[in-house]
Amino acid sequence: MIKAGVLKNANGSAYIEFGDNKIMCGVYGPRDVHPKHMANSSTGILRCRYHMVPYSVSERKNPAPSRREIEISKVIKEALEPAVMLERFPRTAVDVFIEVLQADGGSRCAALDAASVALADAGIPMRDMVSACAAGKVADTVVLDVNNEEDQAGQADMPIGYMPNLEKVTLLQLDGIMSPKEYKECIETGIKGCKIVYEIQKKALNERYFGDDHK
């Protein structure tokens, strides 16, 4: 489930429930860059922050940004960059703030799905959506949408981000070991999942802008 335009004070926003993941995303921009020296005179810049709230996981979570949160912020930024027409907004920044309220494995993919919808909701020109989901290997079988239990017990986890119209992969990570044949099958399965997610993203934007007729 994705809902677009849920926050009044952000330029664009989206909330996603994906498995047991619950994630809120707010987008600002294009707006002036502070600190000013970070501005680029030939293009806009994209900044992303992925953050987990203390009650998002069952273990006690250190409130300081973890290495994992810094890594995920970076991969989400890099997965979104090919889709956002930043060159149209030199000297400005687009900021994407992701708050994971509840995490259940595959949260980077769910966060990316919400971020794409929030960027579109903010009216930021995009070449395509970025749709993401995780495929993986559990009990020697390639499966889609790996949750936390499967992630921990499974043999491999592969988050994929994909631009469905341009047919380009913007995020591909792999944690685990698989054969070349399984690797190919996993990518194909993941891309099929991304295409399903894309329909849900479009539905969220249609509901936001064209009302209940598009439910």
- Residues binding ligand ADP (CB under 6 A): 57, 59, 61, 68, 103-108, 148, 151, 159
Nearest to ligand ADP of 148, 206 (CB atom): 148
Strands (DSSP E) found in 70-204? 92-102, 131-138, 141-144, 156-163, 168-172, 175-176
The nearest distance, CB 107 to ligand ADP, in angstroms, is: 3
Smallest separation (angstroms) from ligand ADP to the CB of 188 = 20
Nearer Cβ to ligand ADP (173/206):
173
* Nearest residue (CB) to ligand ADP, 73 versus 201: 73
Which two structure tokens, joined as six digits, stand for 152?
């921990």
C-alpha to C-alpha distance for 25 and 10, rounded to whole angstroms = 9
Q: What's the CA gap between 84 and 59, in Å, rounded?
A: 35
Smallest separation (angstroms) from ligand ADP to the CB of 186: 15
Structure tokens at 125: 């020109």
CB closer to ligand ADP out of 5 and 159: 159
CB of 130 to ligand ADP, least distance (A): 15
Q: At residue 120, what is the residue type?
A: A
Sign of torsion over alpha carbons 196, 3, 88, 97? negative
CA distance 159 to 172: 6
Indicate the residue among 39 and 143 with the shorter CB distance to ligand ADP.
143
Q: Are 187 and 158 in contact (CB under 8 A)?
A: yes
In the complex, the smallest distance separating the C-beta of residue 51 from ligand ADP, rounded to whole angstroms, is 12
CA atoms within 13 A on the CB side of 44: 22
